[in-house]
Chains A and B, each alone.
Chain A
Amino acid sequence: MRRSIGLLMMLLFGLAGVLHANPPVLTIGAEGHSGIGSSDPGSITFAAGPELNLDFRTIIGDWGYGLVWYTGRLWFDGLVAPTDAQSAGGLIGAQLGETTAELSSRVSFSTPLGDGMTFAAPEWKLLARVPIGFTELGITLAGLYYFENESPLTELSHGAEIALVMDGSLDLGLTAGLSSYLSLFPHQFVLDDGGLATAERRTDTDARIGLEAEGLLGFFSSWSASVAGGFIESNANRYLPALDIVETDSEDRFFAAGSASIDSSVIRSMALSGLLTIRFSHYPSRRSLDQNGNEVAPDTAALRFEPGAGMDWNLFGPVYLQINASGVYGVSRDQSMSGWSAGGSVGIHYRF
């Protein structure tokens, strides 16, 4: 099977130029995860199932590089039919003089075979990095379509980002960027004064500014940190049954986020990682509600802490053990935005 896949990949990339073929990396494994949350602290969820991962990477001649991959998981959580989560993607990058161009795409999906949510989310991204003096100008165009049949979560989003990348020495890289996205929600409709849906669909415009830094700690450890902030303007509103009013601009919000991570692989067989993200949102026109839907404040602010940690251990030869833990702790006067959850997963993988 690997050979067939390898031949297919070689054919794909071979058409593009001189080929330096690498065999695909195929891993299979099993993973189980468990979670608990403040919404039902007495209940612990469990799910487990097999997974498959396939990667193929290649340098293409003297001008480019390419990657295709697939990841599939099945989750059994006691339901009759399993839930699946799959994704596949590809990337092709080219060096055009001093400019780097990358076109990538992926699709995440869950099939109707299981009991879980069925969705498909194709995404694409075109990136160009043009050197300007001692910096690079990064221009990104990207889009995604999250499709969930008749669901209000269905979203079509496109946007652009422009960034200055400063990493003459990669020991410390800095990226400062501006981005803007336009999102359309085809199954969410703006409500009229009586709370009935109109023909106008929800549209969000997202503008943000960000700063990222990354660097190395010695030879086998790295860190990264980022801060970002922006504003989302939306025409969405919502009906509040307990107050019998339609709240306008309920999804408009300012947001800010900071994130820091560290990865360390001091010995080859083990890698440790840690991540902390802190997010703040302020909805100036959204009332904070208690659990009965009654107003407790004229606006809503929410603070979320999202820590995570992981260990990747190459037990021997092609066998790997992966352990991850993560949590979310939200603080807000709005009942729906406060609370906590925690989860962990253990997986064992075999690489062919």
Chain B
Amino acid sequence: LLVSLLLLCAGTQLLFAGPSDVLSDSTYSPDDRARLLAVFEEAERDELPTDALLERLVEGLSKNVSADRMEQALRTDIGYLLRARELLAASDSEDILEMAPAWERAANLLRSGWTDDTLVALATACRTRPESFREASILVISLEDWGVDQLTALTLTRAAVDRLDPHDFPEVAALLATAQRRRIPLSQAATIIEEGLAEGRSIRQLRTLINRTNEVRT
């Protein structure tokens, strides 16, 4: 119980701690602290979300990263946040910008190597349902990791965003896996799923159709 309380206190402290609190506990020199704090102030002036930057700072401190490298990492993150804002705004996806975690997610996608076009395509797909942006990005990444080309992954994700609860996005991947076992070419499986969702077919109906499950008694 005591350990739990201590952990809870530590977590609460971190939750409410700002960059100055975190830096005051660091081994950086006063000049370095001021320099890093200035980076945060710049971010706030630019109206950027700073939660992810703070996490980066805590991570760097735990790894004893030098102040120079720390500043460089923070400025890189800020660059991705600015780029993400620019792209999201250009694709009329301001709703995503209003959700800091989604904005930070977009920046992380750029950091991981996503092209501007890919991010814009995903943001456009989520324009009507910005709250599904995070799950949609996970679906695209999962499909690509599995072997689906990016265009097909984005097409299926757009269909999923339009019709499914974000919690059910993995069902699209599961349908593709079933189609693969049924020897259905990927392009045809994607077409059936995309058209089926667009026409209001449920996942259960599509699963029946793809998996050929019409046995009477099993």
Contacts and interface: CB of A to CB of B under 8 A. Distances in A.
Interface of A: 20, 22-23, 25, 27, 53, 55, 57-59, 61-63, 65-67, 69, 89-91, 93, 95, 100, 102, 104-106, 123-125, 129, 142-144, 157, 167, 169-171, 181, 216, 218-222, 263, 265, 267-269, 271, 312, 314, 320, 349, 351
A93 B208 contact: yes
Contact of B195 (A59, A181, A216): A59
Interface of B: 139, 142-143, 146-148, 165, 167-168, 170-171, 173-174, 176-177, 180-185, 188, 191-192, 195-196, 199-206, 208-210, 212, 214-217
B147 A91 contact: no
A65 B147 contact: no
Contacts of A123: 215-217
B168 A95 contact: no
B183 A271 contact: no
Contacts of B177: 220-222, 263, 265, 271
A292 B147 CA distance: 59
Contacts of A20: 191, 195
Contacts of A144: 216-217
A100 B146 CA distance: 32
Given A102-B208, A157-B217, A216-B174, 10 more contacts: A20-B191, A20-B195, A22-B191, A65-B206, A65-B208, A142-B216, A167-B204, A170-B204, A265-B180, A312-B180
Given A100-B205, A106-B215, A142-B217, A219 B195 contact: no
Name the prevailing secondary structure of the A interface residues.
strand
Contacts of A271: 177, 180-181
B181 A220 contact: no
Contact of A351 (B174, B185, B209, B210): B185
Nearest to A266: B146
B188 A95 contact: no
In this complex, the member of B146, B173, B196, B212 whose beta carbon has the largest number of chain A beta carbons within 10 angstroms is: B212
A25 B188 contact: yes
Nearest to B214: A104
B182 A25 contact: yes
Contacts of B199: 59, 61-63
B139 to A, nearest CB: 8
A336 B164 CA distance: 52
A5 B19 CA distance: 68
A222 B167 contact: no
A49 to B, nearest CB: 19
Contacts of A67: 209, 212, 214
B167 A169 contact: yes
A107 to B, nearest CB: 11
A333 to B, nearest CB: 29
Contacts of B205: 65, 93, 95, 100
B183 A53 contact: yes
B215 A22 contact: no
Contacts of B180: 265, 268, 271, 312, 314
Nearest to A142: B216
Contacts of B139: 219
Nearest to A314: B180
A295 B4 CA distance: 65
A20 B194 CA distance: 11
B173 A220 contact: yes
B183 A220 contact: no
Contacts of A218: 170
